[in-house]
């Protein structure tokens, strides 16, 4: 999480708390060290955020402090509630955690909308304990335009190793696909995340070609969709 987002999250956590929170409590929720929490608290206090307390005792946020309201109309808020809950179906654990944080921030300002429900069934969770590849790692590879070495298990052809240039993630109801340029096949391919045995992020960057490749892939997908619609 970027530092600016973490500072905002500390404010939100303290706003919800009904008792002082120790640095170790904040560190555990934010998945950072206590030293990082101490630095962040000091930064917020220098920014005149009314946080009171000290190391070893706990921190509280004075009740007079509030954040500016989020300016969404009713249907925009309902769209956010539904969209965030639909992330439960992607199997992307890190995105699900992020969605929970965003939901808490919206609920703090506008209240919850528990009457809007989304069925949770979808792609399996990318649980590392079960040997699954992290979808967050795949997103990082796409974001940083770095090549990936995949070990991929094909149901008919067995396991193969590929070096690919990752371009996009496509979230379907029952699985997530990585769209990539496959260097072995010399073309665009889609790889199911639940069939990946391993994914190693390489140092090699393809940043100069990333936008061009992604544009060509999107064009190919659009043409294929147009043919399906016309069939």
What count of Cα atoms within 13 Å lies in the side-chain half-sphere of residue 122?
20
CA–CA gap between residue 209 and residue 198 (Å, rounded): 25
pTM above 0.85, yes or no: no
First to last CA, the chain: 45
Could you tell me where in the chain the CATH 1.10.10.10 domains are found? 3-61
For 56, phi then psi, to 5°, come to 90, -15
Q: What is the pLDDT of residue 227?
A: 59
Radius of gyration of the chain measured on its C-alpha atoms:
22
Q: What is the pLDDT of residue 70?
A: 57
**Apex 93 CA angle, 75 and 195, nearest 5:** 120
CATH 1.10.357.10 fits 3-61, yes or no: no
CATH 2.30.30 fits 128-230, yes or no: yes
CA–CA gap between residue 53 and residue 22 (Å, rounded): 9
Could you tell me where in the chain the CATH 2.30.30 domains are found? 128-230
Provide the 8-state DSSP code for 21: B
For the sheet with 158-171, list strands across it. 187-192, 176-182, 158-171, 146-154, 196-205
Convert the pLDDT of each residue in 198-218 to its tens digit.
Answer: 999 999 999 999 999 999 999
- For residue 196, with 0-12 CB atoms within 10 Å meaning exposed, 13-18 middle and 19 or more buried, which class applies? buried
Beta strands in the chain (DSSP E): 51-54, 58-61, 146-154, 158-171, 176-182, 187-192, 196-205
Q: What is the pLDDT of residue 120?
A: 77
In terms of C-beta distances under 8 Å and separation of at least 24 residues, what long-range contacts does 49-53 make, across chains too? Answer: 49/11, 51/14, 53/20
Convert the pLDDT of each residue in 145-184 to its tens digit.
Answer: 999 999 999 888 899 999 999 999 999 888 999 999 999 9
Q: Which of 73-82, 111-120, 126-135, 136-145 shows the lowest per-residue confidence on average (mean pLDDT)?
A: 111-120
């Amino acid at each position: 999480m970027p530092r600016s987002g973490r500072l905002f999250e500390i404010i939100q956590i303290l706003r919800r708390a009904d008792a002082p929170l120790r640095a170790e409590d904040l560190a555990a929720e934010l998945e950072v060290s206590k030293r990082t929490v101490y630095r962040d608290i000091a930064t917020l206090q220098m920014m005149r955020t009314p946080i009171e307390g000290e190391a070893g005792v706990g921190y509280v946020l004075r009740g007079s402090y509030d954040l500016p309201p989020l300016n969404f109309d009713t249907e925009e808020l309902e769209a956010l509630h539904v969209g965030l809950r639909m992330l439960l179906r992607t199997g992307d654990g890190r995105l699900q955690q992020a969605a929970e944080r965003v939901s808490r921030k919206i609920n703090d300002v506008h209240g919850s909308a528990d009457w809007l429900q989304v069925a949770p069934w979808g792609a399996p969770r990318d649980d590392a304990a079960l040997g699954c590849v992290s979808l967050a790692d795949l997103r990082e590879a796409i974001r940083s335009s770095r090549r990936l070495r995949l070990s991929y298990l094909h149901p008919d052809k067995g396991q193969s190793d590929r070096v690919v240039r990752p371009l996009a993630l496509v979230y379907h109801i029952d699985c997530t696909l990585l769209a990539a340029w496959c260097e072995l096949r010399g073309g665009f391919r889609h790889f199911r995340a639940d069939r990946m045995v391993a994914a190693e992020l390489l140092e090699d960057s393809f940043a100069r070609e990333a936008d061009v490749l992604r544009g060509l892939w999107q064009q190919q997908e659009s043409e294929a969709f147009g043919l399906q619609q016309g069939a």
